Amino acid sequence: MDATFKVQRYDPESQEGSHYEEFEVDLPEYGSVLEGLLDIRDHQDGSLSLRCSCRSAICGSCSMKINGESRLACKAMVSDIKETEGDIITVEPMGNMPVIKDLVVNMDMFWEKVEKIEPYLQPTGPEPEKEYLVSNDEMMKLAVAMNCIMCGACVSDCTVLEVDKTFLGPAALAKAFRFAADPRDGAQEERLESYNEPTGVWDCTRCFMCVQACPKDVAPMERIMDIRSMVVENEIDKKGRGQRHIQGFIDGVKHSGRLDEFGLARKTFGFPIWAFELADLGIRRILRLRLPPIIHKSIKSAKNVKKIFENLGV
Amino acid sequence: MPQHQVLIVGGGLAGMRAAQKAQELGMDVAMISKIFPTRSHSAAAQGGVQAAVSEDDSWESHAYDTVKGSDYLGDQDAIEILCSEAPDDIYSLERMGVVFNRTEEGKIDARAFGGTSVKRTCYVADQTGQVLLHVMWEQLIKSGLKVYSEWFVMDLIVEDNKVAGCVAMEIPTGKIEVFRSKSLILATGGIGQVYSPTTNGLVVTADGQALAYKAGATLMDMEMVQHHPTTMQANGVLITEGARGEGAYLLNSKGERFMEKYAPNMKELASRDVVSRAETMEIREGRGVDGCVFLDLRHLGRDLIMTKLSQIYELSRDYANTNILEAPVPIQPGHHYIMGGIKTDVDGRTWDVSGQNRWQGVEGLFAAGECANVSVHGGNRLGGNSLLDTIVFGRRSGQGSTDYAKSTDWVNIDENSVIRGAEDKIKEIFARPSGGLRTANLRSEMGSAMNDGIAVFRNEEGMKKTLESVRSVRDRFPKISLDNKGKIFNTDLLSVLELEFMLDVAEVIGIGAIERKESRGAHAREDYPDRNDEEYLKHTVVNLDENGEPKLNYIPVTMTQWEPQVRTY
């Protein structure tokens, strides 16, 4: 099977900036994008740099953007892509992280966020002599989040991280769920309190990009929603952020037909946190020209949206 | 010059476990890994980890199964330690956070695996290695271990047969640095890429074995290379033994469960060498399809497959275009593991502390995990014993390296000359005129030759041909030239350095294999089809001699309570 790869190249040691190069490869019937890239590296241009190891979607090394979407190169089958997305396969490094060379990015920011959620079991009370007795169901509920191989695809495609580097992000929060929901953990309350802070679970805009990007069906956004539920159910959310966030979301869309980001942040975190703690985010957004409009305009069919809400009794 | 009392090379399970132990004991510990630790190949272990945790089981039974599985080549004192210490290690992993599958009483559950007399393999669905690896990594975050991630170790530094540290290159920058340590533990994993195809990851390139061998340590039983019975044809990726543990059948092209013929009692759950040979016989006798037989999981039902073997469902869909709920998946034996490795005692030491110089080693140098040979796997490793090996002997080498570091002084290093040596080596490779040979072509020549001659069945002629091919590749090795002569993330350069490691190790495998004139465990010879305890119940050991040539020798197997018996399943 022939395929054309259009690969983003960048070598900090050369004068040439970031650019694209095209390669023709011949692959076996079920060849992956990774096999295509290895063929290029092995037989055409050994200077192509990428991270890879297991070839079976378990080590998490080979995340990259393939036709604009973050995926594992070893799991992206060339024949599938050709069938549904066209003949040319464009390969670029992950987003939201600085490029070191070609398809290799610096993941420091990713690991720092994972470390921030205190990613280790913190049992309290006397340790059992053997194992903790827990039900299989309780363990398997965590296994969904344990599927995470920390490949970075969700962080690469996260639309919040694009504008707000302080957000803990989908990978770290999916891991946070794994500990907060572990019956053996003794720090659940402290964990939920910290994930409830600004930069935590309420910063997710539910854009679904991480769910789509995740190659292991962890569905990070759903894990973030799980934590939100735990925050509300455990009455951690004494400042009522969760409830206000949900109400703010509804009010905004009901009123104008679209999300009022300014209003949402103001309602979720309340005054003065909204004004002070989020001020630097606002400034960064202004600098990157990504500030939501201060004057919130309604969409044309806002009236119809309002009717939908009224019919639903919301 | 970074300096740590205990330095660990390799970031997989064995390395992490060693680091954890040494740190617990108050050592200043650091880990060097050529990849970020969670990328290590330990993650690819699917089926589980063995330990006698059930009430109807005993460590003695586990030990007997392991001795028998090893075809009596395993050292029985080491196997007794492995199996008797296993339950406590598994419980401690559980308390650290591993989400083991549970029984109805909430205890750790165990599944059936090949070559075991009872259900003994503790598991997390079919992603046990990944979960263990991540939990161990979490523990290192908790303890704040210093990790030099993406540093490639080029050489060990040895003075008067005493380890002094190592020299390594930082992959993202190309910077070369000397690391000084009192104890150094190699935990670099297997040799996978010496073979093509292999279930092992692209980073599994025999680094530790080659570093130790060049430094003066001993490689033992390197001819004992395991081919796993169920690997996928397209890319050699593994399908867990847990599939057969849960009840999957092996079928030939006529739809017959052929294992009934080869292992009437254990059938699909005979040990790996036995099943791989049976598959090869079926294929050779014309009852395969396109070089494969079939693994049939359909009768297990959707519920079991989707909860306990979901990764296998996914891999078969992605790499074999097969829905295992509806059709059998084509599989074949493929390179998977090496039982042989750096000779160590039960505390990970590569040198003989008895003072009798029974084998050659390097003082202060330790090894653990797949790169080491304690030896608990002998001629054939049982599934689920490799994860256990990393955990038990990783921990013990953490203890051993601490004890040693406390008892010794720092060794002086001429830092500048070591760095200059490493830089000169790279300069020489860069200086070669372009248009030379390509690393990948030589690597695949070696890999195919190994798979042709030293795989499931072997004979003198085939093995000699393989060894000749390996030596011919080594002769042409200096003619390789690179496309990339830069400093930053130069994987072109790494591939050459890795190939150099692999060629040394491939030669040792070949030498040991040709000289073991019997069939034992994974070493099945057509020209010597029987086990010969009288002449070959002994370990093959290979060292570099004064002229830098491999030197073959033998040392006895340690027996405690199990006399060799005829091995049937």
Quote the minimal CA–CA distance from B400 to chain A in Å. Answer: 25
Put simply, the chain A residues between 148 and 167 with a CB less than 8 A from any chain B CB are 149-150
**Nearest chain A residue (CA) to B124:** A143
Q: Which of B127, B17, B31, B11 is nearest to B388 (CA)?
A: B17
Kindly state whether residue B523 falls inside one of the protein's structural domains. Answer: yes
Quote the minimal CA–CA distance from A235 to chain B in Å. Answer: 26
Option in B41, B104, B489 nearest A100 (CB): B489
Q: Are A105 and A99 in contact (CB under 8 A)?
A: yes
* Rounded distance between C-alpha atoms, residue A282 and residue B129, angstroms: 43
Q: What is the mean pLDDT of residues A180-184?
A: 96
Please state which of the ranges A38-42, A184-188, A277-281, B305-309 shows the lowest mean pLDDT.
Answer: A277-281
CA dihedral A90, A96, A102, A104 (to 10 degrees): -120
Hey, which residues of B are catalytic here?
Answer: 272
Q: What is the CA radius of gyration of chain B?
A: 22
Check whether residue A153 and residue A293 sit in a common domain.
Answer: yes
**Model confidence over B306-319: pLDDT tens digits?**
989 998 999 999 88
The verdict on B13 touching A (C-beta cutoff 8 Å) is no
Put simply, the chain A residues between 50 and 109 with a CB less than 8 A from any chain B CB are 50-61, 75, 77, 100-102, 104, 106-107
Beta bridge partners of A21: A7
pLDDT at A13: 97
Which sign, positive or negative, has the C-alpha torsion B456, B457, B460, B464? negative
The residues, any chain, with a CB within 8 Å of residue B328's CB and separated by 6 or more, are B251, B294, B295, B296, B297, B298, B322
Which chain B residues are Cβ-neighbours of A10 within 8 angstroms?
Answer: none
pLDDT at A275: 59
The residues, any chain, with a CB within 8 Å of residue B290's CB and separated by 6 or more, are B233, B330
The verdict on A278 touching B (C-beta cutoff 8 Å) is no
Q: With cut-offs at 50, 70 and 90, classify the pLDDT of residue A272.
A: low
Beta bridge partners of B226: B337
Residue the block writes with tokens 């966030």: A245
Q: Do A60 and B489 touch (CB under 8 A)?
A: no
Provide the ipTM: 0.96
Check whether residue A78 and residue A123 sit in a common domain.
Answer: no
Query: What CATH number should be reported for the domain holding residue B254?
Result: 3.90.700.10
Query: What CATH number should be reported for the domain holding residue A59?
Result: 3.10.20.30
The verdict on B314 touching A (C-beta cutoff 8 Å) is yes
Q: Are B72 and B564 in contact (CB under 8 A)?
A: yes
When divided into structural domains, chain B yields a total of: 2
* Rounded distance between C-alpha atoms, residue A164 and residue B270, angstroms: 56
Q: With cut-offs at 50, 70 and 90, classify the pLDDT of residue A235.
A: confident
Q: With cut-offs at 50, 70 and 90, classify the pLDDT of residue A151.
A: very high
N-terminal to C-terminal alpha carbon distance within chain A: 54
Beta bridge partners of B367: B186
pLDDT at A30: 82
Quote the minimal CA–CA distance from A268 to chain B in Å. Answer: 32
**Hey, what are A231's tokens?**
């925050």
The verdict on B206 touching A (C-beta cutoff 8 Å) is no
Quote the minimal CA–CA distance from A227 to chain B in Å. Answer: 19
Residue the block writes with tokens 């297991």: A54
Domain end point (choices A70, A105, A140): A105
What is the greatest pairwise CA distance in chain A?
Answer: 66
Q: Do B487 and A104 touch (CB under 8 A)?
A: no
**Nearest chain A residue (CA) to B492:** A46
* Rounded distance between C-alpha atoms, residue A148 and residue A5, angstroms: 28
Query: Residue B544, Cβ neighbours under 10 Å: how many?
Result: 19
The verdict on B260 touching A (C-beta cutoff 8 Å) is no
Cβ burial, residue A301 (10 Å; 0-12/13-18/19+) = exposed
- Predicted confidence (pLDDT) at residue A76 exceeds the cutoff of 90: yes
Check whether residue A298 and residue A161 sit in a common domain.
Answer: yes
Q: Do A59 and B40 touch (CB under 8 A)?
A: yes
Check whether residue A297 and residue A220 sit in a common domain.
Answer: yes
pLDDT at A191: 97
Q: Are strands A88-92 and A2-9 parallel, antiparallel or unpaired?
A: parallel
**Model confidence over B21-49: pLDDT tens digits?**
999 999 999 999 999 999 999 999 988 99
Check whether residue A94 and residue A137 sit in a common domain.
Answer: no
Kindly state whether residue B213 falls inside one of the protein's structural domains. Answer: no
* Rounded distance between C-alpha atoms, residue B515 and residue B538, angstroms: 12
* Rounded distance between C-alpha atoms, residue B411 and residue A238, angstroms: 59
**Residue B67 DSSP SS3:** helix
* Rounded distance between C-alpha atoms, residue B511 and residue A151, angstroms: 40
pLDDT at A265: 72
Q: Is A76 left (phi over 0), alpha (psi -120 to 50) or beta?
A: beta
Per cent of chain B over pLDDT 90 is 96
**Hey, what are B403's tokens?**
């004890």
- Predicted confidence (pLDDT) at residue A247 exceeds the cutoff of 90: no
Kindly state whether residue B129 falls inside one of the protein's structural domains. Answer: no
Question: In terms of residue numbers, what domain contains A291?
Answer: 108-312
Residues in chain A: 314
Which one of B13, B20, B38, B136 would you mutate to disrupt binding with A, by most A Cβ within 10 Å of its Cβ?
B38
Check whether residue A117 and residue A264 sit in a common domain.
Answer: yes
**Nearest chain B residue (CA) to A116:** B141
Query: What CATH number should be reported for the domain holding residue A305?
Result: 1.10.1060.10
- Predicted confidence (pLDDT) at residue A290 exceeds the cutoff of 60: no
Check whether residue A185 and residue A210 sit in a common domain.
Answer: yes
**Hey, what are A257's tokens?**
């037909």
* Rounded distance between C-alpha atoms, residue B68 and residue B57, angstroms: 17
Kindly state whether residue B396 falls inside one of the protein's structural domains. Answer: no
pLDDT at A280: 61
Which chain B residues are Cβ-neighbours of A50 within 8 angstroms?
Answer: 491
Question: In terms of residue numbers, what domain contains B295?
Answer: 230-333
pLDDT at A276: 60
Query: What CATH number should be reported for the domain holding residue B436?
Result: 1.20.58.100
Residuewise pLDDT in 10s, chain B (569 residues): 999 999 999 999 999 999 999 999 999 999 999 999 999 999 999 889 999 999 999 999 999 999 999 999 999 999 999 999 999 999 999 999 999 999 999 999 999 999 999 999 999 999 999 999 999 999 999 999 999 999 999 999 999 999 999 999 999 999 999 999 999 999 999 999 999 999 999 999 999 999 999 999 999 999 999 999 999 988 888 999 999 999 999 999 999 999 999 999 999 999 999 999 999 999 999 999 999 999 999 999 999 999 899 989 999 998 899 999 999 999 999 999 999 999 999 999 999 999 899 999 999 999 999 999 999 999 999 999 999 999 999 999 999 999 999 999 999 999 999 999 999 999 999 999 989 999 999 999 999 999 999 999 999 999 999 999 999 999 999 999 999 999 999 999 999 999 999 999 999 999 999 999 999 999 999 999 999 999 999 999 999 999 999 999 999 999 999 999 999 99
**Nearest chain A residue (CA) to B44:** A58
CA dist B299 → B185, B245, B258, B295 (Å):
46, 13, 17, 11
**Residue B558 DSSP SS3:** coil
pLDDT at B388: 98
Quote the minimal CA–CA distance from A154 to chain B in Å. Answer: 17
* Rounded distance between C-alpha atoms, residue A202 and residue A211, angstroms: 17
Which chain A residues are Cβ-neighbours of B106 within 8 angstroms?
Answer: 132-136
Which chain B residues are Cβ-neighbours of A107 within 8 angstroms?
Answer: 36
pLDDT at A310: 85
pLDDT at A21: 98
Q: Are A131 and A183 in contact (CB under 8 A)?
A: no
Kindly state whether residue B68 falls inside one of the protein's structural domains. Answer: no
When divided into structural domains, chain A yields a total of: 2
